[in-house]
Amino acid sequence: MAYSKSRYLVRRFQLDPSLIIVILLLSIVVISGFVLSDRFGTTRNFMNVLEQSSGLGFASIGQAMVVIVGGIDLSIGAVVTASTIFMAAVVDLHPGLMIPMIFGTLLFGAMIGFCNGYLTIKTGVHPLVVTLGTASILNGSVLIYTLQPTGGVPYWFEEFAYGRIWNVPISGLVMLSCFALTWLFLRYFQAGRAFYAVGESPEAARLSGIQSSRVILLAYSASGFFAALAGVYFVSRTGVGDPRIGDPITLASITPVILGGLILGGGKGNVLGVLLGVILISLLGNLLNYMNISTFIQWVIQGVIIIIAVSVYVDKGEKL
Amino acid sequence: MSDVKSIRSYLKIFKQLGGLIVPLSLVILVGTAILLQPSFLSINNVQDILTQAAPLALVVLGQAFVILVRGLDLSVASLMASAAVLATAFNAASDAMIPVIFLVTIVASAGVGLINGLLVAKRNVSPFLATLAMMIVLQGIRFYYTQGAPSGSLPEGFRVLGAGRLAGIPVNMLVFFFFFCILGWLLHKSSFGRKIYITGGNPKSANLVGINADRVTITCYVICSVMAGIAGLFLVGFVGTVDNWVGRSYEIDAVVACVLGGIMLTGGKGTLWGAATGALILILIFNIVIILGLPVQAQLIIKGIIIIFVAGLFSRSTQH
């Protein structure tokens, strides 16, 4: 009975079975939050979490797109760092260029992503190695330019990170709409459907008339674009370019992707699951902070959650 | 057009050279170094380079085993630091404790490797994620134990192990040579080594010919973790002080060294000799950057360029 009911739910809401675990974990966190802390379950707190999760959210969208086409992007953190420096340094010299520089930074990120994709396709080297290489080059260049936070942006730009519309954070709204647009794109557009085909099997996709290399280029460019968007968010939040800010983002961006039911090796998954993953990680961190649990234990919990999630999902034979 | 042709003919030369790429690049690097700095080959400098290379080379030996069975171990750096912290936990003053410290570290590291191996082989978790999660978990436990700032001391003997010399040869290089011989015999002369190559080439057909592929994979992860634990102890002896980040970025460097040494990330191809040479090449490159008087950060940029270039060369020369 219970079995058929869950089957019904899965079919009725087109629920990916792999999403069940993230929904389960999310409900555990929310329920224990309401029980354990009286400050957790307030609108104010939820809005704060939404605002703080935006950076991770942007980075995860890009990572998700690359993972769907069967790759992985380990340069996301480096792109985040480089774009914060690029933006803050240029705007510091020419404050008038604030608005154009937002688009300039996004373009900059997309271009680096494009290079990643191009190198992956042209050299045939594993994306892990290619993106590691570009990350190393970017980090080295940034650290030669500066060793400490540098540059600055006009004060009003913090509105992007901290501003509210009807009490909803602007950055959170931007993140949610990015997720929605990506979801629509991947689900209802021909080019988006091609992402899954290429992830499943690039060769089969090529034979059925999809230009695999274009899809892969698009995925990596999108990854760079969203990493740069995360960079713009961090500049807005901190007001400076920080040569170390992206370091934890690379690996952090992979966790929600995995929790959301995407599989390394590609071809499967739903970006809305990734959004749930981002919310889960952020709410969990928030709850553990309220419970006064040390950051170090939070790391352990995060690692254990990854292990639980990946050992419950049945992975595709192909491994990374 | 003629450019394309000449590039093609260069590629052809590389293809014909095949296995010579690694030793050849080593010769070229040493040659460049001597040209730049005539004192490069002085006994002191050679000793220094070997002392620096040994800990990385120890890690690379283990990483090679894991990559040969289509795996990847990102937890090695975290394990190295954890081994160092574990060693200080004894707070021992007498050198008589050194064997005990080594024994405990080896057993603990083997446990970590066993968990990695079980997750990858039995639960079919992608090696990237399993070892990534392990990296975060170890990091959390380590930081929680030390509360951010390690205390405790090591016996004096560690200094000798990490930086001492025996008849002019660095002690840690002798230890590396010892392990190189044992593991080289295991990989290239014993029947277990054949099993590793068959499993890495194709796990399914390995099972069909009666090899317990899971057991081979798990053993490789255990070997890798044990080598990382030992390398951690030698590195802490070299550095002289314990901190929570001993060996940081060694996981990346070890993978890079393996790739440089011609071990394929797709598994089943490459030699231990190549891997060890890869480690030496990487250290030489770092050394040359310093000789050139470039800032240390330039190491990152050069490392990145070399990763992409060499990996591209290898995948080209084997693809066709």
Q: Is B303 in the A-facing interface, judged by CB distances under 8 Å?
A: yes
What is the per-residue pLDDT for A316? 46
User: Residues near B141 by Cβ (< 8 Å), separated by ≥ 6?
Assistant: A296, A300, B82
For residue B12, which amino acid is it? Answer: K
Q: Is B4 in the A-facing interface, judged by CB distances under 8 Å?
A: no
Q: Is B297 in the A-facing interface, judged by CB distances under 8 Å?
A: yes
| Nearest beta carbon to residue A132 from set B120, B126, B307 | B307
How many CB contacts within 8 angstroms connect chain A with chain B?
150
Mean pLDDT score of chain A, rounded to an integer? Answer: 85
Q: Do B308 and A304 touch (CB under 8 A)?
A: no
Run of H or E including A288: helix A271-290
**Predicted confidence (pLDDT) per residue in B189-243, tens digit:** 999 999 999 999 888 888 888 889 999 999 999 999 999 999 999 998 888 777 8
CA distance B278 to chain A (A): 15
What is the per-residue pLDDT for B157? 81
Chain B residues with beta carbon closer than 8 angstroms to that of A304: 133, 137
Kindly state the average pLDDT of the residues B303-313. Answer: 80
How many Å apart are CA B291 and CA A214, to the nearest integer?
43
Q: Do A297 and B144 touch (CB under 8 A)?
A: yes
pLDDT at A317 over 60: no
pLDDT band for position A85 (cuts 50, 70, 90): very high
Kindly state the average pLDDT of the residues A183-198. Answer: 87
Kindly state the average pLDDT of the residues B9-32. Answer: 69
User: Residues near B217 by Cβ (< 8 Å), separated by ≥ 6?
Assistant: B69, B71, B117, B120, B121, B199, B203
Q: Is B292 in the A-facing interface, judged by CB distances under 8 Å?
A: no
Structure tokens that stand for B239 in this block: 């550095």
How many Å apart are CA B104 and CA B101, to the nearest integer?
5
| Nearest beta carbon to residue A140 from set B72, B298, B311 | B298
ipTM above 0.85, yes or no: no
| Nearest beta carbon to residue B123 from set A140, A311, A320 | A311
What is the per-residue pLDDT for B303? 83
Kindly state the average pLDDT of the residues A182-210. Answer: 86
What is the per-residue pLDDT for B5? 61
Q: Is B315 in the A-facing interface, judged by CB distances under 8 Å?
A: yes
| Range in A131-140, A307-316, B139-148 the model is least confident about | A307-316
Chain B residues with beta carbon closer than 8 angstroms to that of A143: 297, 300
Structure tokens that stand for A83 in this block: 């774009």
pLDDT at B156 over 60: yes
Q: Do B130 and A310 touch (CB under 8 A)?
A: yes
CA distance B166 to chain A (A): 36
Cβ(B80)–Cβ(B235) below 8 Å: yes
DSSP E strand stretches across A50-198: 164-165, 168-169
More confident site: B147 or A3: B147
What is the per-residue pLDDT for A9? 54
Backbone angles phi, psi at A150, to 5 degrees: -145, 170
What is the per-residue pLDDT for B18? 55
Q: Do A140 and B133 touch (CB under 8 A)?
A: no
- With CA atoms as reference, the chain B residue closest to A299 would be B140
DSSP letter string over A191-241? HHHHHHHHHH-HHHHHHTT--HHHHHHHHHHHHHHHHHHHHHHHHHHHSSB
Domains, chain B, with CATH or none:
22-319 (1.10.3470)
What is the per-residue pLDDT for B122? 87
How many Å apart are CA B87 and CA B101, to the nearest integer?
6
| For testing contact with chain A, the best of B67, B73, B125, B259 (most A CBs within 10 A) | B125
CA distance B17 to chain A (A): 19
What is the per-residue pLDDT for B16? 56
Cβ(B249)–Cβ(B74) below 8 Å: no
Number of neighbouring beta carbons within 10 Å of residue A301:
16
CA distance B42 to chain A (A): 30
Sign of CA dihedral B147, B150, B152, B155: positive
What is the per-residue pLDDT for A4? 58
| For testing contact with chain A, the best of B307, B309, B314 (most A CBs within 10 A) | B307
Q: Is B96 in the A-facing interface, judged by CB distances under 8 Å?
A: no
B residues 243..262 contacting A (CB < 8 A): 252, 255-256, 259
pLDDT band for position B41 (cuts 50, 70, 90): confident
Chain B residues with beta carbon closer than 8 angstroms to that of A21: none
What is the per-residue pLDDT for A161? 79
Q: Do B304 and A304 touch (CB under 8 A)?
A: no
Structure tokens that stand for A204 in this block: 């089969």
Q: Do B316 and A319 touch (CB under 8 A)?
A: no
Number of neighbouring beta carbons within 10 Å of residue B182:
11
Domains, chain A, with CATH or none:
44-312 (1.10.3470)
Number of neighbouring beta carbons within 10 Å of residue B169:
13
CA distance A243 to chain B (A): 12
What is the per-residue pLDDT for B138? 93
Mean pLDDT score of chain B, rounded to an integer? Answer: 85
What is the per-residue pLDDT for B11? 59
| Nearest beta carbon to residue B300 from set A126, A140, A304 | A140
Chain B residues with beta carbon closer than 8 angstroms to that of A293: none
Kindly state the average pLDDT of the residues A134-146. Answer: 89
Percent share of chain A, pLDDT over 70: 92
